[in-house]
Amino acid sequence: MVYLNGDFLEKDKAFVSVMDRGFLFGDSVYEVLPVYEGNIFCFKPHLHRLSESLEAIKIPNPHTNEKWRMTLQQLINYHPQHTNQSIYLQVTRGCDTDRKHTYGKLKPTVYMQSSPFEAVRKEDFLSGLSAITRDDIRWSQCNTKVTSLLANVMYAQEAKQNNVEDVILCRNNIVTECSSANLFIVKNGCVYTHPKGPHILPGITREVVLECADYYNINTEEVTISKEDLLDADEVWISSSTREVLPITKIDDVLINQGKVGGIWPLVFDRYQVEKSLNS
């Protein structure tokens, strides 16, 4: 079942008009929320980021947080067979009578779907993953979670074709994030990640990962990271709502930590599992 503008429908019965600005212009924002055993992980931060994305592109928030929570819970309850779910939520500016760049007062389109999702298993990642680097050609408002994701889609496809986990993006020799994940490095026991701002999405998982490091009194710093620092790191991790926190041990042709997962990732991974059970 999916949710569309107030109704719960079978996926193949849900349709959006060709006049929808989400379709015509990518004029819309989205969220992806992980659900563990029926509970949304980090509901408030996700809803807060949604309201900031809507505000950034001036779409009125169609629901109160309470209404969002209720509707999300209804959608989750339609899928009791899935222990874990990943909820995709999209709000478009709505439909107009014809295609034009400018807009008047429109009724936003709200769409939500649930997909089953396998929680990450530590034992599957003990050998680490590979990534490749590419120039970051995206616009300078990456902190707004918009559905215009053409560059991200192209990077993800390149990752797939190269048989690697993701593409690490570089803007003027500074590594920002991945096509759909944030990026961390560890050097001499300190965890570094790009500061919040226009060049990265302020990942919800990123915050939890930083809290996990804090839990062990591991120093964390939000600073820019050069490509040289990346390749010379002791550990490299990526994070997202659906991938949690994963280790990268090979970037382009360079082995990180001689191709071995470092000692801090397993700690942070374990703590992340605890946060999931506490925060849900």
Interface residues with ligand PDD (CB under 6 A)? 32, 152, 177, 180-182, 201, 203-206, 239-242
Three-state DSSP state, 271: helix
Shortest Å distance, C-beta 15 to ligand PDD: 23
Nearest to ligand PDD of 95, 212 (CB atom): 212
Nearest to ligand PDD of 17, 277 (CB atom): 277
Q: How far apart are CA 274 and CA 267, in angstroms?
A: 11
- Measuring CA to CA, how many Å separate 96 from each of 13, 59, 121? 22, 14, 45
Shortest Å distance, C-beta 67 to ligand PDD: 22
Decide if 20 contacts 94 (C-beta within 8 A). Answer: yes
Q: Is 67 a catalytic residue?
A: no
Shortest Å distance, C-beta 203 to ligand PDD: 3
Nearest to ligand PDD of 148, 152 (CB atom): 152
Residue (of 272, 277, 280, 257) closest to 120 by Cα position: 272
DSSP at 96: -
The catalytic residue among 145, 196, 250, 260 is: 145
Q: How far apart are CA 126 and CA 174, in angstroms?
A: 28
Three-state DSSP state, 232: coil
Nearest to ligand PDD of 45, 266 (CB atom): 45
Shortest Å distance, C-beta 242 to ligand PDD: 5
Residues catalogued as catalytic:
145
